[in-house]
Amino acid sequence: MTETDLRGRKGHLLSKAEILFALAAFAVLCVAVLTVAPQLVEPDDFAYRASIVALTDGYPLTLSTRQDSALAMQLADVGDGRVLAGPGPSSEIEQWVQLPDGRWISQKDPGYPFLAAPFQAAGIIRLAPLFYGALGCTGLFFGARRWLGRYGGALAVGLFCSSGAALLFAWRDYMPTFTDASLIAAGSGALLWAMLAGEAAARRRTWTGLIGFLAIESAVFVRYTDVVVLGCAVLAVLAARWRRPASVPPGAAGWWLGSVAVAGAGMAVFNDLIYGGPFKSGYPSGEITFSLSAVGPNLRSMPAHLLQAMPMILLALLAVGWIAARWAAARWPGREQGGHEQGGAASLDLAVAGTLAASWFSLWGLYAAYTWTTAPDLSSLQAVRFYLPAIGAISLLGAWLLTRLPIRAPLATVTAAAVVAAMFGLGVWSYTSMRACPFTAVCDRTPLTPAASGRSTLARTPGHQPSSSSRSSPMPK
């Protein structure tokens, strides 16, 4: 066997090892999620469940009062209905609101029911978040491997699946949080591959990038605030076309940005038809508020929640700093830093990391100004959901750090795998902790009742009025 044959066989074995590592990481997530009985934890779970069941049963997005009552009775028959107490007319379903024309609709953004309804109809709703999680892992694997080389994709998938927040929201099958985070991860990985795979056919790169944009656009339909991530992707394409024209295939920008325009127009028309305005949603005006006065309190309270649920943010932050330092060192006057090749690699890393960090920081910066999360007694389960969509970017940056450890290859591989294993240990601990203590105010006194027994025990949250059945504070979904 020639030396070339040996190298090819070794590369093939390494590729199989990467795939097996990534599959094992996703399998651990699935086992951790599916071996725990599902629960409807917050009012949001009930609201989304009603929308998904209504769509599965053939109801339109909006219901008449009679249809609303019938759906509430249907859900109550299986122990999942909630009847609201309070003055004035109200839906019998948690967090549903009445439109000006008298019809009822969920307060939540409407995208997730469309994505989950096929699974509900097939009786496998528990697999819905995991299916979209698999898409996210696939995008991350190929995007990271293209950017980082050997083991980059496997490590990115490992970090993505190891987060306690990812485990928690993959377990909550009627919540969209893990789904929109996974769609963003899938789209980010697809775009990364399309813009770096210079040797691939232009048509293949164009279609892959288009799929990436469609994934991120779907995430925006699930959670409207994800539009900041979509905006960063658009700016990245425009900047790459200006600074690195070869990274955008001929004609691809038109398809990609045209897709964004069509999606934006479609959502505006949808909102206008359903809610009465292109920029309206199911939330009454003034119920969702962002303010600079909330930044200080959030900066004091949120880091502890985020470190518990997503400890890999420390790896990602180190990666951002290291990449910036390498780029600055490569441009230092009088220092070659390995010549043009290393300087080019540092510039490419800076461009990719800068885009990922921009989408991460813009989303987290938006929610740093969210007034609801300033409540001092908020639990990690309640708070971290808003920050989870950045987990794909965080995983890619963390994988960069693990593939650039300044030690010899065999030891570096073992060390990187050990770090991912440690992250899984922390993630499972965090996942278990957040499930056991979902609400800070009541976790020591009132256990969470499984959905199968009828209802979940709800914590008193800001805006929560004591009554036989309560409505939670607004959460921008």
470 located within any domain: no
User: In the prediction, which pLDDT does 21 show?
Assistant: 94
Residues facing 98 on adjacent strands: 104
Residue 429 CB neighbour total at 10 angstroms: 12
Contact between residue 463 and residue 473 where contact means Cβ atoms under 8 Å apart:
yes
User: In the prediction, which pLDDT does 460 show?
Assistant: 30
Percent of the chain with pLDDT over 90: 59
User: In the prediction, which pLDDT does 77 show?
Assistant: 61
Torsion of CA 17, 167, 148, 190, to 10 degrees: 100
88 phi/psi in degrees, rounded to 5:
80, 170
User: In the prediction, which pLDDT does 14 show?
Assistant: 60
Same domain, 103 and 231: no
Count up the domains in the chain and report the number: 2
Picking from 87, 114, 141, the residue at the C-terminal end of a domain is 114
Reported as type and span, the H/E element at residue 466 is: none
Rounded average pLDDT over 83-111: 74
The Cα–Cα gap between 369 and 374 comes to 9
If one compares 464 and 174, the residue with the highest pLDDT of the two is 174
Query: pLDDT of 186-242, one tens digit each?
Result: 999 999 999 999 889 999 999 999 999 999 999 999 999 999 999 999 999 999 999
Same domain, 31 and 51: no
Same domain, 376 and 322: yes
Same domain, 149 and 49: no
The Cα–Cα gap between 402 and 452 comes to 42
Q: Which domain holds residue 24?
A: 13-38+126-436
Does residue 89 surpass a pLDDT of 70?
Answer: no
Residue 254 burial (10 A CB sphere; 0-12, 13-18, 19+): exposed
Report the chain's mean pLDDT, rounded to a whole number.
Answer: 84
Cα separation of the two ends of the chain: 59
200 located within any domain: yes
User: In the prediction, which pLDDT does 333 show?
Assistant: 59
Count Cβ neighbours within 10 Å for each residue of 46-58 and write b for 16 or more, e otherwise.
bbbbbbbbbbbee
Same domain, 386 and 405: yes
Of the pLDDT bands very low, low, confident and very high (cuts 50, 70, 90), residue 91 is low
User: In the prediction, which pLDDT does 332 show?
Assistant: 73
Same domain, 207 and 328: yes
Same domain, 31 and 92: no
Picking from 436, 452, 471, the residue at the C-terminal end of a domain is 436
User: In the prediction, which pLDDT does 100 show?
Assistant: 84
